[in-house]
Structure 1
Amino acid sequence: MLHLIKEKIRRQEIQFITYSDYMKMALYDPHFGYYMKDGEKIGKQGDFYTSVNLSDVLGTLLGKWFCKLFHTSGLTPVICELGGGTGKLARHILESIKQTDPELYSKTVYYIVETSPFHQKLQQDCLSSFEHVQIVSTIEELGQIEGIVFSNEFFDAFPVHVIEMYRGRLFEVMVSCNSSGNDLAEHLVPLENSEIISYLENEKLVLQEKQRLEIPLPMLEYLEKIAGILTKGLMVTMDYGYTHDEWELPQHRRGSLRGYYKHEMIEDVLEKPGEMDITSHIHFSALSSYLKSRGFIQEYLLRQDEFLLQLGILKELEEHYDPNPFTEKSKRNRAIRDLLIPGGISSFFRVDLQLKGLEDKRNVLFTENENGKTHET
């Protein structure tokens, strides 16, 4: 992969490529890209964990919630998961729907949009016993749908451009070969990309001196596709990210681009291209403003632990109490606690809920909690 990237750089008249182009190759090259190659990425034998690895509780709660939403909103029971990973989350959701409402389950169509042939095979094996599951490579294959579109750690793996304010001037951070030609290095060029400039203007973003920021142009392109295929329904985005106000905090001034290799965080994402995961925190403010211009309404932006509490995760804990610490029930209880404890995995995740064509159903997303209120961040 490194050789292919260096060759691409050398073919350029300017001898460098954007970070977005680098990430597209390192992650999605058809033969050598990280996500496209065979090999485990998620779990103990991979490079990172997700909430799905802890237990089935996330999928169980989502399945029960989806059942309620389909009944209260009148939506067609269609679910589209963006990026299905190993297929475990889909299995947990479908098992939950089947147990909660067998009649609704018989009518439910479940789509997975997955570009990786390796993960498509894992999903097919994992979901072979479920009816009405369709796995497609691109979202365009769905045509227009009504229902629920959701993702869990999907947009964080999208390619991004990188910019930096240096000596009072904006630069785009490019990728080039170092002086020896053996490795990759960064190269600053004056910002000229009109799409990036428009993004900064539209989002009213002003960088401080030496501040670095990822610009999610490919994410916006994908949101355009979602807006085109979802005629009516709910979009649920579970991921780690910040609002514009949070990006301005000192601790985020150097951006969020990171690599993960065998569960170790790698600061320099130019290391090990094609061998490690590369992620960045998504821009929730931009996601919301972009979808708003295309007919969506942001109903909530919650921390994941707040979202899980709204879905009734504490009832799952109560219903599975077991004093024996070695049983599956006790392991599940510990997983639930891990999802809720301060500083745990849910503290770093947000859940963004967007409605389209459901303005008259805005009060049906959650039932009121014990205090009669729904919390929002």
Structure 2
Amino acid sequence: MLELLTEIISRSPSGRITAEQFMDIALYDENKGYYMVPKPKIGCNGDFITTSNISDIYGRAVAKWYFRQTQERGLPSHVCEIGAGDGRFASAFIDEWNKLSGDPVTYFVKEESPYHKGLQSSLIGARVQQVDSLEELKPFCGLIFSNELFDALPVRVVEKQQGRMMEVMVAMESGELKEEAVPLEDPSVLSYIRENGLKLKENQRLEIPLRMIGLISSISEMLQKGIVLTVDYGYTDEELMDPARKRGSLRGYSNHRLIEDFLRSPGKMDITSHVHFDSFIREGEKRDLKFEGKYRQDEFLLSCGILEDLLNHDDPDPFSAASRRNRAIRQLILPSGMSAAFHSIVQTKGLGEG
């Protein structure tokens, strides 16, 4: 990977590349990118844990929620999951759907990683349809779902230094990757900062998620009528500007450890940044995605009726199926668990409200 980056950086006229370009290569290079190589990323043997890996409860809860939407809003039993990982969410969703409805769900998956495609094929096989592009599904009616997708999109990085806006680039020195700040000139980045009213303090660093805007546009273009449910961690504009977050949120994860230097191990660790929630919502509104609500994970799951899945039992064994199930529910909804970090954003299009 380092040889590949050295070659690409040396070919650049300026001798440097953007953080976005670096992340593209480190995460998505078809031969050496982190998400592309055949290595576990999710779960105890990987680098991070998602809600779907805790229990099938999460996928089943969302299935119940969307089933209710189909009944109340006349939506079809069509689902498109973008970035389905190992397929556990899809498997749980489909299992629960089949209990709820005599109308089978048509489940599409858009996945970049060949490794994850293989895992999905093993787990859910013919129960889902793989698509290479969202455009294949135009015009789509139904639910578009993603979980920890937007935090993994490559971002630009800016920093205010001596009163001047700079862009943090990636260069090479003595065979090692290093950051290099240059005056910020890109009109797209400048426009994002201006339109979102982001006023950086001295030495403050911030990620600029231009790819987020592109993906929101693609989702809106493919969706004719339905709901977009986006689950991720992120910050509001006010939280982004908090002095405690002065160095931004771009970081790596390896073996469940946080790595502050995003350049440390390209291709060998996950790289993420917090989603700009307010901008995400505004960009959706610009593209006919009506914002319905942003909910903490516990709020959303409680509205899905997750407490109905708690099991009354007298089994003293903490490893019994009932004990494990109840423990998973608590982990998903208690403030000390994952619920404080994750939010569910609900957007709609073509449903006629308002």
- Structure 1: runs of 5 or more not aligned: 363-377
How high is the TM-score relative to the length of structure 2?
0.97
Residue 48 of structure 1: how far off its partner (Å): 0.8
Alignment equivalent of 1:266, drawn from 254, 259, 264: 259
Checking the alignment, whether the CA contact within 8 Å between 1:114 and 1:120 is kept in structure 2 is yes
SS in 1 for 2:339: helix
Q: For residues 304 and 211 of structure 1, what CA distance do their matches in structure 2 show?
A: 29
User: Quick one: structure 1 residues 58 and 194, their matched pair in 2 at CA, closer, same or farther if it must change by over 3 Å?
Assistant: same
2:191 is aligned with 1:198: yes
Q: 1:322 to 1:134 in 2, by over 3 A?
A: farther
Q: Name the structure 1 match of 2:121.
A: 124
Structure 2 CA distance, aligned partners of 1:136 and 1:320? 42
Match of 1:311 among 299, 304, 307: 304
Q: Secondary structure at the match of 2:70?
A: helix
What's the RMSD between the two structures over aligned residues? 1.2
Q: What residue number does 2:149 align with?
A: 154
**1:78 offset after TM fit, Å?**
0.9
SS of 1:346's partner is coil
Specify the alignment match of 1:370 in structure 2: none
Deviation at 1:104, TM superposition (A): 2.2
Aligned mates of 2:135, 2:244 — CA distance in 1: 38
CA distance in structure 1 between the aligned counterparts of 2:65 and 2:89, rounded to whole angstroms: 14
Query: Comparing 139-148 with 319-328, which one deviates more in the overlay?
Result: 319-328
Pick aligned residue for 1:282 from 275, 278, 285: 275
Alignment match, 2:103:
104
**Corresponding residue number in structure 2 for 1:217:** 210
Secondary structure of the corresponding residue to residue 185 of structure 1: strand
- In the TM superposition, residue 218 of structure 1 has moved relative to its aligned partner by 0.9
Q: 1:228 aligns with which of 212, 218, 221?
A: 221
- Asked if 1:292 corresponds to 2:285, the answer is yes
CA distance in 1: counterparts of 2:29 and 2:89, whole angstroms: 26
Matched residue, 1:357 = 350
- Tell whether the 8 Å contact from 1:321 to 1:333 is kept in structure 2 after alignment: no
Q: Distance in 2 between matches of 1:141 and 1:58?
A: 28
Supply the AA of the counterpart residue of 1:110: Y
Q: Deviations over 1:173-196 (max 9, x none)?
A: 000012x2x210000000001000
Tell me the SS of whatever aligns to 2:169: strand
How far apart, in 2, do the equivalents of 1:358 and 1:299 lie? 12
Partner in structure 2 of residue 165 of structure 1: 160
TM-score w.r.t. length of structure 1? 0.91
- Which of 315, 319, 322 aligns to 1:323? It is 315
Work out the CA distance in 2 between the residues paired with 1:7 and 1:242: 35
Deviation at 1:129, TM superposition (A): 5.8
Could you tell me how far 1:70 is from its partner in structure 2?
A: 0.9
Quick one: which amino acid aligns to residue 340 of structure 1?
I
Specify the alignment match of 2:77 in structure 1.
Answer: 77
* % identity of equivalent residues: 44
Distance 2:290 2:8 in 1: 41
The answer as to 2:325 corresponding to 1:332 is yes
Aligned length: 353
- Give 5+ residue unaligned stretches, structure 2: none
Q: Secondary structure at 1:240's aligned position in 2?
A: strand
